[in-house]
Amino acid sequence: MTSAAPRSTDRPAGLVIECRVERRAKGRAEEERALLVPRGELVQGCVDPLAEALAGLPPGIGRIDVDMRHVVFMDTAGLQFLDLLNGHGRRQSLPVTTGHWRGQPRRTLELTGLDPDDPLRGPEHDLQQEVDQLRHAIVSRPVIDQARGVLMAVHSCTSEEAWDILREASQLSNTKLRVVAEAVTASAGSDGPAPPPKVRAALRTAVRTATERHGR
């Protein structure tokens, strides 16, 4: 049962957050859950509507769930969004979860091993370490996009297939994805060096796997 009408906050950053408070059975008792549904982009200014939404929640909330399926893009400001959620949960001693990450935001989380089903899950010190890695991954995104472009041109594959090739080569060679991307990009130049042997072998395997998977 919904005990409060949906409410939205808006900012020039292009993020709207719908807030609903629901009463759910928890054993023989009832618990009030806040469901937040952001829509738009996690860019500069995104923490303002989130802070307002959290401040406007009524007392007695037992948990907060955030449905991220309508978030279409995130940059480094998304880290501040996660930090604010995580800090609010600690201060209020509330479980806070995020889920349904899709598209570019989900792939960004995957870059550093964050759980795309709930990046807030896990011990606080682990989250902070992963957030630091995520910040670095976002900064290095251009070289990853360049590498995807090289693979698309050389192997006539789609953007998603190029992403799968990079990720699998990173895993097979036990090499950071950014390093694999840099090697691919560097090798595309007229005088560029070939990727290191273990990366080159991993790329061959990843390309072959992608080709077989898509029947080409």
Instruction: Summarize pLDDT for 24-48 with one digit per residue, the tens.
Output: 766 566 778 999 999 998 888 899 9
Phi, psi of 20 (to 5 degrees): -130, 140
Task: Write out the residue limits of the CATH 3.30.750.24 domain(s) in the chain.
Answer: 7-139
pLDDT band for 116, please (50, 70, 90 cuts). Answer: confident
Fold of 7-139: Transcription Regulator spoIIAA (3.30.750)
pLDDT band for 166, please (50, 70, 90 cuts). Answer: very high
Cα–Cα distances (Å) from 50 to 87, 137, 199, in that order, read 12, 24, 42
pLDDT at residue 56 is higher than 90:
yes
pLDDT at residue 96 is higher than 90:
yes
pLDDT band for 11, please (50, 70, 90 cuts). Answer: very low
Q: What percent of the chain stands above pLDDT 70?
A: 79
- Give the pLDDT mean for 50-75: 92
3-state SS string for the chain: CECCCCEEEECCCCEEEEEEEEEEEECCEEEEEEEEEEEEEECCCCHHHHHHHHHCCCCCEEEEEEECCCEEEECCHHHHHHHHHHHHHHHHCCCEEEECCCHHHHHHHHCCCCCCCCCCCCCHHHHHHHHHHHHHHHHCHHHHHHHHHHHHHHHCCCHHHHHHHHHHHHHHHCCCHHHHHHHHHHHCCCCCCCCCHHHHHHHHHHHHHHHHHCCC
- Give the pLDDT mean for 157-185: 91
